[in-house]
Amino acid sequence: MAHIIVVGNEKGGSGKSTTSMHVATALARMGHRVGALDLDVRQRSFGRYLENRAYFLSREGLDLPMPLLGHLEPESDGIDPLSRAVETLEPDCDFILLDCPGSHTRLSQMAHTLADTLITPMNDSFIDFDLLARLSPDGKILGPSIYAEMVWHARQLRGQAGAGPIDWLVLRNRLGTQQMHNKRKVGGALETLSKRIGFRVAPGFSERVIFRELFPRGLTLLDLKDIGTEQLSMSNIAARQELRDLIGELRLPGVTVAI
């Protein structure tokens, strides 16, 4: 069976689509068969990212690794569209990555119950932290918040079905380069919460202009040399290392980081 990676967070603008694209393409570059589904049926940022890639590669005559983009069909015969799409992709995939919308939907709920690995990108602020836990005015953790409760419910359903546990990784995206007071406070709160509700914490991607420039062509950091970029900037080199670190931190079965 394919290992299912879900990228989820109920808040938009946290870097889900960028994370999804780079993880999926990195795995494809390492020789793994990767399927992809965009569950945000309205915005489809991840799906359009992949479609941009297919168009650019065709136009330029390039042969670069490409995840297999699946599609959600209307519900029929009592079978939900997500299960049907996953079953269609599974025979040809080692990994299937599901990119969830930045809101609470039935598709997102269902996706979390399928997750073998759950990646939750979040901006490094207490505004995003509020989706994981409720804080008192003096910074004490009062209890899990709406998104953490949904993950807890997904874990319960997986346990009842005899499925394995969810390996949950929270990514701190857009980290500042300086050790600011707020950054330390968010980091401390995340470490405390991680022990209470069961997730791992890892640094994600820093805020970089390059990510906005790559989307229209469907490219990732790993494609730059293949399209003729001879000299990578220090920022691009640092971003590639962030991606390597992320793939290693995911601890996916059968994956040795070689990108």
Among 18-22, 40-44, 46-50, which stretch is predicted with the lowest mean pLDDT? 40-44
The pLDDT tens digits of the residues spanning 205-234 come to 887 888 889 999 999 999 988 888 777 888
pLDDT score of 137 more than 90: no
Q: Which residues pair with residue 203 across a beta bridge?
A: 172
C-alpha 75: how far from its chain's center? 25
Which band of pLDDT confidence, cut at 50, 70 and 90, is reported for residue 179?
low
27 band by pLDDT with thresholds 50, 70 and 90: very high
pLDDT in tens, 64-108: 999 999 999 887 777 789 999 999 999 999 999 999 998 889 999
Q: Which of 190, 17, 199 is nearest to 98 (CA)?
A: 17
Note the pTM of the prediction, 2 decimals.
0.93
The string of pLDDT tens digits covering residues 233-255 is: 888 888 899 999 999 999 999 99
Q: Which tokens is 189 given? A: 């709160």
Q: Which residue has the tokens 């069961």?
A: 198
Which pLDDT belongs to residue 180? 67
Q: Are strands 68-69 and 34-38 parallel, antiparallel or unpaired?
A: parallel
Average per-residue pLDDT for the chain: 91
Residue-level pLDDT at 85: 96
